[in-house]
Amino acid sequence: MGDKKYSRFFITAYLILFTTGVGVLSTGAVLPEIVGEFNLGYDTAGLLISVQAIGNMVSLVAGGYLSDIIGRKYILLAGPAMIAAGFFGISIASSPPLLFVLIFIAGCGWGVNNISSIIMNDITGGSASHLNRLHIFFAAGAFAAPFLVISVAALGFGWRAVCGVIGVMAAVSAALAAIVKIPETKKARSEKPVSFEAFTHLRYYIFIIIAFAYTAVEFVMNGWITTYFQDTGLLTDVRAKIVLSLVWLSIMAGRVLFSFVGDKIKKEHVLVICAAVILIFSAALTRLNSFIGIAVCVFILGLGLSAVIPTNLANAVVTVKSSGAAMGVLISSGGLGAAAGPVVTGIIAERLGLSASIWTAAGFACILALAAGVNYILGKTGRY
């Protein structure tokens, strides 16, 4: 697969995904402080998280298409630059409207950075092991984010300083992306660079549903779990942030495991097992009120979450092939789930109370389990 040939790109992609993980999860980790400072309602707070996800979705669709036409380097370089601009701006934002604009810009950077998954998927021939390895670094950044928030607070600084640190990290990532060679595909330089064949396959749309439902569950956890446990009084603010890190510690552990065994187990089997774990433990989380019970539950839930996105992307290569446009739409469907999950949770929290909000994760987990089951059946019958 030419691992040595692309080793510098791999390192750059790992750093970019790590920085993205820190940025995305830090937004949820500091959400209680943002709500307090700007006097936001839960529905508005949910919309804030969703705007970040909408930026992700928009840039994925546009970036995937443009990467086929003008080349990947220019698109990938823009990702960390937008995260840097967004978070530097957030660190000095003085009004909710400006906050929304800046978090949208940061979200666009997040989406563009995910194009590294498209590149990795292409140059490794859809290797689940390589994609899991790449997404380990997003998980590592996500795991580090709550501890970054706790550490900055311990030094006597607030949530704005956290945003400044993320801006610096993203700027460093942008500088590295500017000097590293980004692999291009022959398709990107051909006379007909954009392929829409994937859109004719039924199974492609199942992959889209899986990406949507999984990411909705993930971002209910990312954006709301800290606020849920902290504002309901079930956990202290520090313990609530530790629980968020535990989710990503287990996701990271799961991705390490699947980076070794991901190509030895049928992808359809992995998706069904993970979907079942997510459904069971997201439902169980709504009934727990002790720190130990919650910690064990979210750790197992994270193991279920760990392999879904990289395995789904690797499984989808049978229909997507090298089309940046098709892969961009597939990944952006995850962005749609990331937008839907937090805003639905915010509406439920505002109207039915914060205690009812976490049930939205279980609802999206049901959709995920059904889609994974259909994918298993289609895979067994050899249908695309």
- Residue of 242 and 369 predicted with greater confidence: 369
Model pTM?
Answer: 0.73
- Residue of 161 and 46 predicted with greater confidence: 161
Whether 285 shows a pLDDT value over 60: the answer reads: yes
* 2 within domain boundaries: no
State residue 324's pLDDT score: 62
Range of the domain at 224: 7-381
Return the CATH number at 128.
Answer: 1.20.1250.20
- In the chain, pLDDT over 70 holds for what percent of residues? 89
Residues 6 or more apart in contact with residue 260 via CB below 8 angstroms = 129
Helix (H, G, I), strand (E, B) or coil at 261: helix
Instruction: Compute the distance between CA of residue 308 and CA of residue 267 in angstroms, rounded to an integer.
Output: 9
* 1 within domain boundaries: no
Structure tokens at 3: 């691992």
State residue 342's pLDDT score: 85
State residue 11's pLDDT score: 85
Distances (CA, A) of 257 to 112, 136, 214, 263, 298: 27, 10, 19, 11, 18
* 353 within domain boundaries: yes
DSSP-based helix, strand, coil % in the chain, nearest 5: 85, 0, 15
Confidence of residue 282 (pLDDT cuts 50, 70, 90): very high
* 365 within domain boundaries: yes
CA 69 to chain centre: 25
Confidence of residue 91 (pLDDT cuts 50, 70, 90): very high
pLDDT in tens, 306-361: 889 888 888 887 777 656 667 777 877 887 888 888 888 888 888 888 878 888 99
State residue 189's pLDDT score: 43
| Mean local confidence (pLDDT), 267-296 | 92
Fill in the DSSP letter of residue 155: T
CB 298 within 8 A of CB 370: no
- Residue of 184 and 110 predicted with greater confidence: 110
Total domains in the chain come to 1
CA 117 to chain centre: 12
* 101 within domain boundaries: yes
Residues 6 or more apart in contact with residue 172 via CB below 8 angstroms = 15, 19
pLDDT in tens, 42-70: 888 888 888 888 888 788 777 766 666 76
